[in-house]
Structure formats: structure tokens, C-alpha cells
Structure 1
Amino acid sequence: MYPDPKRRIAAKFVFIIGLFLMLLGSAAILGTMSGTSRVSVFTAFIFVIIGAVCAVFAIKLNRRSLYLFFAAFFIQVGFFLFLIALGIIAIPFSELWPLISVFAGLALIPAGWHRYHRLRSRYVVPALAFVILGCVLMLFSLKMVPFSFSQFIINWWPLLIALAGLVLVLIALSTSNGGKSGDPHP
């Protein structure tokens, strides 16, 4: 026999409140350590909470892969911001912002795996493009190359167009060959 619907709703509400309090307590503990900024810890905490809520939605709702992407992305960003706030990563966020692109690429992998139960180029190619873009931008952000990003664009814009075309060709080939392998298209 199934429990009363009101009890199920109450149990879900208690679960969410409990999860929120656990994360809030953890953030408070981390915020009191080593003189960290409470605003930066709170910002990181908000990203982790959003990721946790998306993870709950991924479990409970039908559109799980979309919520799984957002859960993985926000949790990565939240933990990254925690590491910066605690001083474990000594480089400021203003120089590490290209990692957001890397996190987006890494979040696409579990979302695609969940949707198709294997790696598909429909998710892997954009994921690799985001990771590579983030790594290239990181080179300029950390000043690891002797020229600026604008100088790179001025000199290498034809290569960027060719790479964009290559990505589009790979995506087109992967979708046209999908029907031959017996995979149904979503």
C-alpha cells in the first residue's frame, strides 16, 4: 500500500530542508576557517545548492540529462569557488574564469552518458570543444603566451574558421551515421 500523498510531500520537503541545512552548516564551518570572506563562501555555497537541487530534479523528473548537466556544472563551479575562497587555489578568479568553459564541457559528458548509456559524438564533440576553448583562453588569461588574445585572433582567424567547420562536419557525420548503427535518433 502506498503512503498518503501528503506524507510523501512532507517527506520530500523534509529531505530538501535537511539537505539545505547540511550544506549550510558545511558552508558555515568552511567560512569560519582561516579568515575567508563570507561573501565568497556564500557565493560558492549558492552554486553548490543549485547543483544539488538540479541533481534532485535529475533523479525525480523525466528530463534527467538536462538537469544532470546543470547539476554537474554548478557543483563543479561551486567547489571551484570554495577552493578559491579558502585560499587553496591562490590564483584569483579574474584569471581563472576560462575554467567555466572547461566545467561546461566536463558536465556534458555525464549528461550524454545518462541519455544514451554510452558516449555519443553529439555530446562528446561539443564537450571537447568547450574544454579546448577553456584551455586556450586559460593560456591567455594566465599570460602563458607572449602575445595577447586579440593579436592571436588577428593572426589566426582562418584557423578558427577551419576548426569551427571541422566541428560542424564531425557533428553532421555522427548524426548521419547514427541510423546505420541501429541507434534510434531521439
Structure 2
Amino acid sequence: MRTPINSVHRLSVLLILGGCGLLLVTLGISPSILGLWPFIPGLGGVWFLFTGLDRRRQPGINMRLVSAGFFLVWASLLFLLDSLFGQHLPLRMTWPLFLLGAGTALVIMARSFKFGKRITLLLPAWCLVLLGVIFFLFSIGIIQGDFTAIVRTWWPLLFILSGLALLIASHVSNQQLKNSGVTLQKPSAGDQKKT
């Protein structure tokens, strides 16, 4: 059985993060304390994570708080990378990782919903993850070539992937309905109004 998260855990994480930030300044990695501003949303994200995972407040995990916390921590890490290593990893190269983080946060949040709402969140979430990966591969130069030429050639894949996603969602939905004992029956002729 897991121990619940308490104030000591929260304080210890805040002290560790604060100490890491100050160590970056004293070692000369960060030119000033102002370069550490990304720690502020990161601390908010850590607070959301701990609050969402705290089982003393609610019986289960609050996936909405966990997903918000994950995204804040992810974004603050990306901004921290930019402020510390901006000359080597500028934000113009790493911006697709924000899409990746937003998609991952949506995947985490989708776990807290029932199936119908879950699918409506998972489809855009995986699209954000896929776009983030593709744009990141272009921005760091792994995929060479003109982006518009590639899109002009490969855009029909959107229809194919959308069709596959709909087929999979329909199949999974039918399986869940079958497992729950709910049956979908067509109305009989006697049930319909005669006009």
C-alpha cells in the first residue's frame, strides 16, 4: 500500500528544485537568477501533481490535476532549457515539444473520463503528439526537405488515419457495450408509428 503524499514530501521537492536552481546560478550555468523564472510555473506544476496524486483528499487520482501539473512541469522544463542553453537549443527548434507535452497531458486527462468522452479527447491528443514529433524532426533537421512539398504529397494519409481511428473507436465501443451487457437492437415493425 502506498503512503499518502504529505506536506513533508511537498516541502522536500520544493527544496530540491530550489536548490537545483540556485546551484545552476552558483556554478555559472545560468547567468543570473532571472534566467530561472521557468521554475515558477514548474513549482505550480509540481503542486498540481502532488495535489492530484494525494489520496487523502480524494479516494482516487485526480487525473485533471495530474495532467495540468504534467504540462506545467513539461513547459517549464522547455523554457528552462531555452533560458540555459538557448544558443544551442533555441526555442525555434524546440517549440514542437510543447505540442508533444500538450498531447501527452490530454492523454493523461482522458483517463479520467468514460469511454465516449475519452475518445473525443484521445483523438486530438494523439494528433498533437504526432504533429509534435513530426515538427520536431523537421526543426532539428532529421527530416530534410521542403515541408510544404511533403505535405502536398502525403496529405491523403490524414483521411486514411482518420478512417482507421474511427474503425478502431467503433470496434472498441462495441466491445465495451458487449462486455457491459447492453444490447443494441433495431426497433421492430410494431414499435414504429404507422403513418
Structure 2 gap ranges (5+): 1-5, 183-195
Structure number having the greater helix percentage? 1
Count of aligned pairs between the two proteins = 167
Tell me which residue corresponds to 2:74: 76
- 8 Å Cα contact 1:140/1:148 also seen in 2: no
Residue deviations 1:113-136 (CA, integer Å, cap 9, x gap): 6x48xxxx8476655443322211
Task: Read off the aligned partner of 2:155 and give its amino acid letter.
Answer: W
In structure 2, do the counterparts of structure 1 residues 163 and 36 end up closer, same or farther at CA, with 3 Å as the change threshold? Answer: same
Q: 1:54 Cα shift? A: 1.4
- 8 Å Cα contact 1:125/1:170 also seen in 2: no
Tell me which residue corresponds to 1:131: 129
Q: 1:105 Cα shift? A: 3.5
Give TM-score scaled by structure 1 length: 0.65
Q: What does residue range 1-186 of structure 1 map to in structure 2 within 5 Å?
A: 23-37=17-31, 38-43=33-38, 45-58=39-52, 59=54, 60=57, 64-87=62-85, 90-108=88-106, 110-111=108-109, 115=112, 122=119, 127-182=125-180
Q: 1:69 Cα shift? A: 1.0
- 8 Å Cα contact 1:34/1:86 also seen in 2: no
Residue deviations 1:50-109 (CA, integer Å, cap 9, x gap): 211211331346781111111122222323433444439932221011112222343455
Q: 1:24 Cα shift? A: 3.8
Across the aligned residues of Structure 1 and Structure 2, the Cα RMSD in angstroms comes to 3.8
In structure 2, do the counterparts of structure 1 residues 33 and 166 end up closer, same or farther at CA, with 3 Å as the change threshold? Answer: farther
Q: Secondary structure at the match of 1:181?
A: helix
Task: Read off the aligned partner of 2:171 and give its amino acid letter.
Answer: L
Q: Secondary structure at the match of 1:53?
A: helix
Report which stretch shifted further, 31-40 or 141-150: 31-40
Structure 1 gap ranges (5+): 1-10
- 8 Å Cα contact 1:73/1:107 also seen in 2: yes
Percent identical? 23
Task: Read off the aligned partner of 1:42 and give its amino acid letter.
Answer: W
Give TM-score scaled by structure 2 length: 0.63
Q: Secondary structure at the match of 2:152?
A: helix
In structure 2, do the counterparts of structure 1 residues 134 and 142 end up closer, same or farther at CA, with 3 Å as the change threshold? Answer: same
